[in-house]
A and B are shown apart, each in its own frame.
Chain A
Amino acid sequence: DVKVTQSSRYLVKRTGEKVFLECVQDMDHENMFWYRQDPGLGLRLIYFSYDVKMKEKGDIPEGYSVSREKKERFSLILESASTNQTSMYLCASRLRGLAPSYNEQFFGPGTRLTVL
């Protein structure tokens, strides 16, 4: 079974703090993703990494950065946390797609971040 783990289930931080969210997968997947989930908005892609040290901006990258130094680990960084970054953050991974692969994503348990 694919396992995707996230470092914290719940996190409370103060405005202006630097925040690190860690994600680790154990199935040697090339691709990893960070999403945030907000009520009524579904999941929105923040960043995507298609391989080690490679990254692409998603739909809402502002205020975030990422790091992928090892294949199994993908970190999301909030450089200076703000209250509008209070959200549920979900990490996902998948194999690099080759037809007819269906590129199924496997999600971690999520980190609920509150910024005060």
Chain B
Amino acid sequence: ELKVEQNPLFLSMQEGKNYTIYCNYSTTSDRLYWYRQDPGKSLESLFVLLSNGAVKQEGRLMASLDTKARLSTLHITAAVHDLSATYFCAVTSGTYKYIFGTGTRLKVLA
């Protein structure tokens, strides 16, 4: 059974600091997604990673994928308050199934 684990589950960080969220999955998958969710809102797609070594960047967020290690990272550079949200990773299993991690709740303190 495919499982996805994220850590940390909660992250409180100061503005201007860097940090990394980790996403491990248990069996092979050909694509990995990162989503952002603001409180009371739906999921917003951030990144789609398709191959080993893939790296994507958008503003202060950078996502990477290591399929051999079954690991994706979401790196936050010089955090700002607006990045406070819950971040989810998800992998596909088969043709239609997506397995989501439990989410990382990020709080950036001024």
Given contacts A100-B50, A102-B31, A107-B42, contact A41 B102 (CB under 8 A): yes
Q: Which residue among B97, B98, B102 has the maximum number of chain A CB atoms within 10 Å of its CB?
A: B98
A27 at the interface (CB under 8 A from B): no
Chain B residues whose C-beta falls within 8 Å of the C-beta of A97 in the assembled complex: 95
Q: Tell me which of B31, B50, B96 contacts A50 (CB under 8 A).
A: B96
The answer on a CB contact under 8 Å between B31 and A45 is no
Given contacts A42-B101, A56-B96, A97-B95, contact A107 B50 (CB under 8 A): no
Q: Which residue among A43, A97, A108, A112 has the maximum number of chain B CB atoms within 10 Å of its CB?
A: A43
The chain A residue with its CB closest to the CB of B9 is A40
The answer on a CB contact under 8 Å between A42 and B96 is no
Total residues of chain B contacting the partner, CB 8 A: 23
A31 at the interface (CB under 8 A from B): yes
- Bound: A33/B95 CA distance, A: 13
B41 at the interface (CB under 8 A from A): yes
- Bound: A44/B97 CA distance, A: 10
Q: How far is the CB of B9 from chain A (nearest CB, A)?
A: 8
The answer on a CB contact under 8 Å between B98 and A108 is no
B25 at the interface (CB under 8 A from A): no
The chain A residue with its CB closest to the CB of B97 is A45
Q: Which residue among A40, A42, A104 has the maximum number of chain B CB atoms within 10 Å of its CB?
A: A42
B92 at the interface (CB under 8 A from A): yes
Q: How far is the CB of A114 from chain B (nearest CB, A)?
A: 14
The answer on a CB contact under 8 Å between B42 and A109 is yes
- Bound: A17/B96 CA distance, A: 31
Chain A residues whose C-beta falls within 8 Å of the C-beta of B35 in the assembled complex: 107
A67 at the interface (CB under 8 A from B): no
Enumerate chain A interface residues (CB-CB to B < 8 A). 31, 33, 40-45, 48, 50, 56, 58, 90, 92, 97, 100, 102-110, 112
Extra contacts, 4 of them, besides A42-B100, A110-B41 (Cβ < 8 A), are A42-B88, A56-B96, A109-B41, A112-B40
